[in-house]
Amino acid sequence: MITTPPGLTAAQSGYWQDALRKTTETPEWKRDLDLAKRSDEKSDETLCTKQACTTYVIPLQFLAINNRALLDINGKEPIMPAVNDLPDILETAEAERLATGFVFTEGPLWHPDGYYYFVDIRTNSLYRLTPGKAAELVTKTAGGNGTTFDLQGRLIMCEGSGRRVVRVSPDGKIETLVDRFQGGCFNRPNDVVCRSDGSIFFTDPDKRVPYSEREIPPPAGIDNLWDGACVYRVAPDSALSVLAHCEYPNGLAFSPDERTLYVANTRSSKYIHALEVDAAGKMVRRRIFADMNAGEEPGIPDGMKVDSLGRVFCTGPGGVWVFTPDGKRIGTIRFPEQAVNFAFGGADLRTLFCCAYTSVYTLRVKAPGQPHPWYRLRAR
């Protein structure tokens, strides 16, 4: 039984029920609910407490008592606008909403031709959005999530439900880049980045896939061990290898010199890995860059980017956390809804484009984001 959260007006209750109906029609939701009942864990899109596992499941984006950002029946304004006070980071303090009416936005990416890509995970949709215009559907996906470009400017996307990483042409045609390792299907590829040498790195967490459906074998000679949550590397010659094993690898971002790959760990503990990577794409050492377990606000380490000054931006409890290059927390950028992922965009890469559950927002920052390697090649 799914019940309406307490304390909502009649209009808010109607909006919540409509969005919930759209969400619960998807097979991904049914699978997540089944897993939640068995594991009593929080998942990326679902709040599952002991009570919720037996009586109801509530989408975080509509739980007003948790994130205080429920939209009204027209989806116009949030109950509590987010105003920021980070003068060293932000040029504008209040976010502008570019589009709304989605279920769970993710995968933001700026294209130098003047538009953004993003996905709605729950409706299996990839969108293209030019500021000032309505979002247009590019193609349907199989759980499309994180996105990047390769060095030819082709869109690369993780498909969680499809258990693969794909390449998407401008007209929406999808082809598989990689979908198996050691003979087994991936779990749920999540996020992806491209290095200047053309190699592609992506995360593949395993906790949301039942054990009976996990196919990648453990190391040779080891029985009854699951070790399939990894960061993978696809070399320029298409060779596939494991860069590192992680508890729950999620968002990815390279440092400006590309010697450090940051990896967001979503659960059970919230932190950011720093993986030192050599020129050949192999990990030489690893460390914990930042602990993000502080506070009780909703939000997890998920989307992550680095600016041109080497500062690390990562979603977390309450919004987007900002760290100095040595891991010291500067502050949190807040949005009217809980931030899930974001990208630096605009011609000067000083627009922070944020996917926040039902909507996408922008803020202006003072330092540009680290440009994608393809941007540099394209500008030559």
User: pLDDT tens digit string along 57-81?
Assistant: 334 333 332 333 334 333 444 444 4
pLDDT of residue 294: 85
Amino acid letter, residue 255: S
Average pLDDT rounded to a whole number, residues 45-65: 35
- What is the rounded CA–CA span in Å between residue 60 and residue 358? 11
pLDDT band for position 219 (50/70/90)? low
pLDDT of residue 227: 64
CATH number assigned to the domain comprising residue 266: 2.120.10.30
Average pLDDT rounded to a whole number, residues 273-292: 96
Residue 310 has pLDDT above 90, yes or no: yes
Q: Which long-range contacts (CB under 8 A, 24 or more apart) does 64-68 make?
A: 64/5, 64/7, 64/8, 64/12, 65/5, 65/6, 65/7, 66/298, 67/297, 67/298, 67/337, 67/338
Residues 80, 336 contacting (CB under 8 angstroms): yes
Residue spans of beta strands (DSSP E) within 60-199: 96-100, 105-111, 115-120, 125-129, 136-140, 144-149, 155-159, 164-168, 174-178, 180-181, 184-185, 192-194
Same domain, 125 and 209: yes
- What is the rounded CA–CA span in Å between residue 302 and residue 315? 6
Phi, psi (degrees; rounded to nearest 5) at 77: -130, 145
Is residue 188, in this structure, part of any structural domain at all? yes
pLDDT of residue 213: 77
- The total number of residues shown for the chain amounts to 380
Q: Identify which has the larger pLDDT, 363 or 54.
A: 363
Q: Find the domain containing 62 and state its range.
A: 10-67
Average pLDDT rounded to a whole number, residues 89-110: 96
Examine the fold and report which residue of 25, 48, 67 is the final residue of a domain before the chain moves on: 67
Same domain, 37 and 150: no
Same domain, 226 and 110: yes
Helix extents (H) in 42-180: 50-54, 64-67
Q: In what order do the strands lie in the sheet with 200-204?
A: 192-194, 200-204, 230-234, 240-245
Cβ-proximal residues to 220 (8 Å cutoff; 6+ apart), any chain = none
Same domain, 60 and 114: no
Average pLDDT rounded to a whole number, residues 43-52: 37
The tens digit of pLDDT for each residue in 127-149 reads 999 999 999 999 999 999 999 99
Helix extents (H) in the chain: 10-24, 27-39, 50-54, 64-67, 373-379
Is residue 288, in this structure, part of any structural domain at all? yes
Q: Is 132 exposed, middle or buried (0-12, 13-18, 19+ CB in 10 A)?
A: exposed
Same domain, 140 and 264: yes
Is residue 4, in this structure, part of any structural domain at all? no
pLDDT of residue 152: 95
Is residue 84, in this structure, part of any structural domain at all? no
Same domain, 116 and 261: yes
| Number of independent structural domains in the chain | 2
Same domain, 52 and 106: no
Same domain, 134 and 30: no
The tens digit of pLDDT for each residue in 181-199 reads 988 899 999 999 999 999 9
Is residue 163, in this structure, part of any structural domain at all? yes
pLDDT of residue 206: 86
Q: Which residue has the tokens 């696809």?
A: 234
Q: Please work out, in degrees rounded to the nearest 5, the angle formed at the alpha carbon of residue 22 by the alpha carbons of 32 and 267.
A: 30
Same domain, 51 and 112: no
Residues 295, 317 contacting (CB under 8 angstroms): yes
pLDDT of residue 27: 59
Is residue 237, in this structure, part of any structural domain at all? yes
pLDDT of residue 184: 87
Examine the fold and report which residue of 67, 85, 112 is the final residue of a domain before the chain moves on: 67
pLDDT of residue 16: 57
Same domain, 127 and 275: yes
Same domain, 130 and 39: no
Is residue 79, in this structure, part of any structural domain at all? no
Same domain, 100 and 61: no
- What is the rounded CA–CA span in Å between residue 29 and residue 138? 23
Is residue 25, in this structure, part of any structural domain at all? yes
